[in-house]
Structures are given as structure tokens and as C-alpha cells.
Structure 1
């Protein structure tokens, strides 16, 4: 009965969902491209497989899926990889990572109506499906079970807050998760919460993000960008979300006063500000200017590949460099002496800090990290990360770390060691998939 009610609600909401695509396309035109795919129409893609299907909703999940997809390509040479998304930025990230790989095809997942799901599954007939992290759609999961498509929830996480919300649905939530062939959890805590919902087929495989290797060309070009800042320290604020930039810029304007308490006060560093969502780049640029800071944009510096031949077109002399590009996080981290990871000053759950650590960049993070709780606590325990309570405390901590050269060097080493220590999730995930495919 609940499934019928859910489908009816989706049917009523479908026109609204389509109108929302048009609304969002005002800032991000990609939302009105490939609309047919969201309705289960895939005639522009080859149906012939065999397919292994990975669903990665947006940018973070797509990047996390990279080591898994590379392993699938290597271990299953007779298969094509179907990579599905829900957002244009996720699709763009997938194209950047795999656009030159002819065995990787991309499309949007259909809306979660049973007949659209059936159309999708009948067209591609995947040998197995892997949904990344938290992307659980009831009709999709049930449809895969009915169609005989083994479905794994991989790199799975379930925060305490999400667990409480899910548990309110009682047996309906348990029945939905039991339609998965297996759940491969990031941490023991995630696994325990899945088991508390009544699931038996749960195992801990670790976090795929630890297996993401920062691209060497990105790191190399980031070091070139770092040279453009000259003698100034560079403090990055990455993956910032709406509402956080205002707090950061206000605290940054008070740097001298906030840094005065540091044992070795340092001049105000350059701020490398990287909003999480590209549709907000212009909005954040205007924010920086209104706050009275000078601004340069990463996009004005040209193609980073050219820097290796001719150097930067101009030095970075502004107070703030806006990171208004996609797919260059390794470059941004390599250009930074210290990084703040956004989504954590406000109760948004935080973002992935592993990529910064893998680049050897120490991390500061806010109080709200419930989406990445275990990784954050492990990074703090390893000496790779420090937690702060608010934006003022963030600037005080940044001043203290940047003013302590030996301590900063030690944090860099701890960051790299932390990233290396927790690798191996890809191999464990591939072993679980092999068992499913051979069953």
C-alpha cells in the first residue's frame, strides 16, 4: 500500500519535477538537456551490453566511484560500464573522468516511477547494479529485485540522523533495504545502523574515497599556481555552501585581530575560495567584491596545461582567488598551505576531507560533520585535521597553524599518512561484486 501511495505522489509531482528542471536551467542549462532520459527514453545509447551499472548522483559520488569504475574496466573487459547521474554537474564530472573511455556510457537515471524504472532496466538489462552511498530510490530498488538485477549499495553510509528518519518508516524501510542484494558500508557504525533496520547482508568494505589518487598533473599544476601567490600563505576554503561564504568573508576581514592571539601571528593570507556548486560562482564573486576584497577568478588564468609551458599568465595578487572551475580540486589543494572543508560551519553535514589529505594538505573543519563523521574523527585522531567551532575560531586556528612552520609540516605528513592508511575499499568492493556475479 505504501508503494502505491509513493508512486501516486511521484505521479502527481512529475509535472512539478519537470518544471523544476526548467527553473534550475536558468543558472545551469544542463538541466534541460537529455530530459528524455529522465523519462526512461535511451534510444541515443546502445542497448547491447553486457552492462555493469554504477549510479553516482552528483559530483562527490562520481569522483568516489572513479577507482571502482577503473577496477571494473580492468577486471571485466567484456563489459561496458553504465554510469548514471541525477545532476548535470555529476554528469560533467563523469565526462571529465571517463570521456575518453569508449566502454563507459553516461545517462540520467529515470524518475522513480515503476514503469520508468522498468523501461530503464529492460533497455540496458545490467548484469549488476551499484548505487553509491545514500542514493536509495524505493521503486528502483524494488524494480531491480523484480527484474532479477543484483543490486548493491556500495560505499554506503547512514548517519545517526538519517537512521532516525529512516527508522520512522518501520517495516517499510526494512523491506526496501532488504531488496538490495547486499549493503557495503563505509564504517562499522554505518553497518550497525543498517543492521538495526533488520538487514543481514551488510559488510564493512571501507570508504572508496581513500582509493582516489589525486592526478599528478593536477598536483603539478597546483604547485605552479602556488608559485603565483609569491611569499603569501594560501588558505583554501573549499566546497563552501550557501550561507558559509558570508561567515567566512566577515571573519577573514577581521584576520589581523583574530590572528593576534596566535603564538606567531602571520599576515593575512590569500584566500582561495571554491564554492561547491558552480551555479553560485557569480553570486560568490559579487559577495567577495561587496565585502571589500580584491578578486581574481581562476577562469581568467586560462588552461592550466599551458602553465607548464609558459607559466601563469599573471601573478595572483588579489585578496581572494575564486576557484570557478570544475574538476580541479587536486590543483586547488596542491596550491594551498591549509584547507577548510565547507558544509561544516552550518548544519549541512560536511564534505569529503580525504581528497585534501591525499594531496598532503592539512585540514580545518567546522562542527557539523555528521555525513562524514568517522572519516573526520579518524583524521583528527591522526593529526591531519583540527575542528573549529565557528568562522572566527577558524581564522584563529588558521593563523596558528600557518604561523607554526614545523607544526604545519607535521600536519602535512599526518595528512598523507592518514589517506594511505585507509585504502583498500575498492578491492573489497570488487570481491563482493565477484561473489554476486558468480552466484
Structure 2
């Protein structure tokens, strides 16, 4: 990659910024762990065929899925880096059982050009695989300088991010990967335009390959009319409170399971409901569960089972401009979810979920209320939901295999240094 004086100056100041920022970054509890790896004072890898970067939890699951789909006889040497301890734990979980390929796990080095250059010299990868939206300028620039291959997989970019990155489009055009695999047509168009890379393709979201077809237990069905309010965020609490009060007027015997997205909001919900004379209880206080109109879940791990017992569900993060939360889990467990208008985080699910009735969307709290009321009065048969959900997922699966074929093809055509 030929660099102009302007670009060299830009990276000089970029490095200076990292030098100044690193001492402060390492004070962060989240970044302090693995500090020696992030600064290459400790190196847990050597020469590899593929360097795969999985920023955090979601990307780590995708990396694991890709590992499962590489052919056994390739005998690849793979380095997978991550930014978080949660991502590292996920990657290390099945590492002991991975006998087909030589896999190393490490914290991602800071994007300081000097550190990145050293890391690439040690790993000497033939191919860099970036998952979703992990585009770091120093890393990508050094890969280009060393004339190595680079691919973005399961690529995504929101409209908001696209507008931000476009302000520095001159840079990203020079750092364009060899191939872009995007997880929706919209994401493909944005990434293709940003990088000016014609070799951009739509491949089904790899996350679909992690979803198992559902089997709804008959024992999970209850006689009580039940509503799930899932992953409720702080910014939409007033709208959700409106839903609670209005639905309890229409269905006095309605049982509501409230799942705050963050447990720090549990006490706020308890105070709000109590002061409004709405009977409520914490899930941990099991003796009060049966008499409460609203059960506030202050423990993790039970949402999927709750969906299987529910007649209706609202998925949070969607009545405020937050991009929405996972509505796929709801219909995969037998309940038709309702969302608000903000679902940009899950546009990759495709319009089919709305066209088939697997998900219902309201443009405001009043429309959401109406949809929930209709669903509670006439809940769809869970076996029917299950059939539609399984058909939808099966049609969407296969992205992992296609992605691995692109990776291997690019790897085999790379220049061996």
C-alpha cells in the first residue's frame, strides 16, 4: 500500500494518540485484565495461517461457529483475538476439545501502529478475518503494507455508523479488504460504498446457524394469561409502564413477567409499581410470586423458558431509539413477539419475519398496546408458531459453510511469504 505524506502524517498522530491514551486505558478494570497481551509484553501466539478477530461475546460465538465448519484435513493454524474477558472465556470453552486445528486465543493488541506491526510480524498470517464491524485502521493498514489478504465476514453497519465512517471515506477506501461478506443487502451496500470494494456479497447471518429448531413442551403451557416484557431498557420505562397499566385495565387477571435488561433497574421498577398500587414481587421472593400481577425477574437465565409459557411478549429496546433486542428467541420458543419501531440491530433477520407474522411491529406505544391486546385475546397456537419458526430458520441457515468456503479460497490464493 502506497502512502501519501498526508496518510503517513495521519498515522503518526494516530500512534501519538495511542501512546498518550494507553496509560489511562489500562486503568480501566475491563482493559486491565490482559494488559500484558494488549501491549505485547506477553505473547501467546506464533506464526499462523489465519488471524481472526472477534471483538466480544457475539463475535466470539461466530468465530466458534466458523471453526466448526472448516474441513478437518486443512489442519489450519488459527489465532483468534478478542477485546473482552467474556469473549475470551467463550472462545476458550471448547478449545480443549478442538483437535482438528491448532488454535490460539489472545487478547487483541491495542491498535497502536508500532504494536500492530510487531504483532503481525510474529503471527505472520496469510489472511486476516474481521468479524462484523471490527475495522481498526492500524491493523488493516499494516496488513495492506505486508500485502496479505483480508476479509470482512458477517459484516454489518448501521445507517448511523455508515454516516460517521463516511466522513473519513478517503481512509477506508485505501484500507479496503479483498472481500466483504455482509449479513444483509442493506449492510452490503453500505460496506461496499464505504470501502469501494466491488467484491461484496450477501451471505446469510452466521448467527442463524447457532439457532436450534424449537420443541415446545406441552407442560410449558399454562391456563393463566401471561405476558412477557423482555429486555426492558431504562430509556423506555415510561412507555412500558403505560403498557402495564393499560393492559391490566383490560385484563385484570393478567400475569406479567418483567425482565429488565439490566438488574440495576429492578429496584426502580419495584418502587414505581408499588407507588402506583400495582401488586408486584421479585422472582427471588418466591413466596409472593403467585399473588403478584407483575413478577420482576431479578435473576438471569430463565427468559427462554418464560417465553414457552407465555401468550404474548413485548421485546424491549424498541420503544426508544436503541435498536431493539433479540426477538428471534421469542418466536423460536413459541410466542409471537411484538416490538416497537426501533429494530435496527436486527434488520438482518429480514422482512420475512414480519410478512409471515412471526413478529409484529408497532410504530408507537399505542400501536404496541393494540397488538399486545389482540395477541392476548387470540394467542396463536404454539405448534403453528413452532412450524413457521423452524421453516424460517432452516431457510436462513448455511452462512457459516459459505463463509468458510470464501475464507479457504482466499487463503489458498494468498501469497506465501
TM range (shorter): 0.7 to 0.9
Residue 130 of structure 1 and its aligned partner are, at CA, apart by: 1.8
The structure 1 residue matched to 2:193, chosen from 196, 220, 223, is: 196
Q: Per-residue deviation at 1:358? A: 4.0
What's the counterpart of residue 39 of structure 2? 39
Q: Deviations over 1:16-41 (max 9, x none)?
A: 3223x23xxxxxxx554222222234
Question: Partners in 2 of 1:424 and 1:315 — Cα distance?
Answer: 46
Tell me if structure 2 keeps the 8 A contact 1:206–1:424.
yes
Distance in 1, Cα, partners of 2:105 & 2:233: 27
Q: How do residues 201-240 of structure 1 correspond to structure 2 at under 5 angstroms?
A: 201-214=199-212, 226=220, 230-240=222-232
Alignment of structure 1 residues 423-434 onto 2, 5 Å:
423-434=397-408
Alignment partner, residue 373 of structure 1: 347
Partner of 2:271 in structure 1?
290
Cα distance in 1 for residues equivalent to 2:288 and 2:248: 24
Tell me the CA shift for residue 184 of structure 1: 0.5
**Displacement after TM superposition at 1:343 (Å):** 2.7
Aligned equivalent of 1:256, options 239, 242, 248: 248
More divergent stretch after superposition (380-389 vs 113-122): 113-122
Aligned-pair CA distance for 1:384: 0.8
Q: Go from structure 1 to structure 2 and tell me whether the alpha carbon gap of 1:382 and 1:96 turns closer, same or farther (over 3 Å shift).
A: farther
Per-residue deviation, 1:140: 1.4
Q: Secondary structure of the residue that 2:212 maps to in structure 1?
A: coil
Kindly tell me: are residues 18 and 69 of structure 1, through their superposed partners in 2, closer, same or farther at Cα, counting changes over 3 Å? same
Distance in 1 (CA, whole Å) between partners of 2:112 and 2:328 is 35
1:57 to 55, 58, 63: 55
Change (3 A) 1:395 1:184: same
Contact 1:357 1:363 in 2 (8 A): yes
Report the TM-score, using the length of structure 1 for normalisation. 0.77
Unaligned runs of 5+ in 1: 23-29, 302-313
Deviation at 1:433, TM superposition (A): 0.8
Equivalent pairs counted in the alignment come to 394
Distance 1:52 1:270, change over 3 A: farther
User: Contact 1:362/1:415 (CA < 8 Å) preserved in 2?
Assistant: no
State how 1:30-429 maps to structure 2 within 5 Å.
31-43=31-43, 45=44, 47-48=45-46, 50=48, 52-72=50-70, 74-75=71-72, 78-95=75-92, 101=98, 104-176=103-175, 178=176, 180-197=177-194, 198-214=196-212, 226=220, 230-245=222-237, 247-257=239-249, 260=250, 267-273=253-259, 275=261, 280-281=262-263, 283-291=264-272, 292=274, 293-297=280-284, 317=290, 319-322=294-297, 324-325=299-300, 331=305, 333-334=307-308, 336-391=310-365, 393-406=367-380, 410-429=384-403
Residue 13 of structure 2 is aligned with which of 2, 5, 26?
Answer: 5
After TM superposition, the score normalised by the length of structure 2 is 0.80
SS at match of 1:405: coil
- Tell me the distance in 2 between the aligned counterparts of 1:415 and 1:10: 47
Give the match's secondary structure for 2:14: helix
CA distance in 2, matches of 1:116, 1:332: 47
Residues 168 and 31 from structure 1, CA distance in 2 versus in 1: closer, same or farther, beyond 3 angstroms?
A: closer
Relative to structure 1, the CA distance from residue 256 to residue 332 in structure 2 (aligned partners, 3 Å threshold; closer, same or farther) is closer
SS at match of 2:204: coil
C-alpha distance 241-200 of structure 1, shift in aligned 2 (>3 A): same
2:180–2:192 Cα contact (<8 Å) kept: no
Deviation at 1:387, TM superposition (A): 0.7
Q: Could you list the runs of 5+ residues in structure 2 that have no partner in the other structure?
A: 1-8, 275-279
SS of 1:54's equivalent in the other structure is strand
1:212-271 per-position Cα deviation (integer Å, ceiling 9, x unaligned): 13398xx78xx69947xx5434444444444234543453244223xx3xxxx5832331
Distance of aligned partners of 1:269 and 1:124 in 2 relative to their CA distance in 1, 3 Å threshold = farther
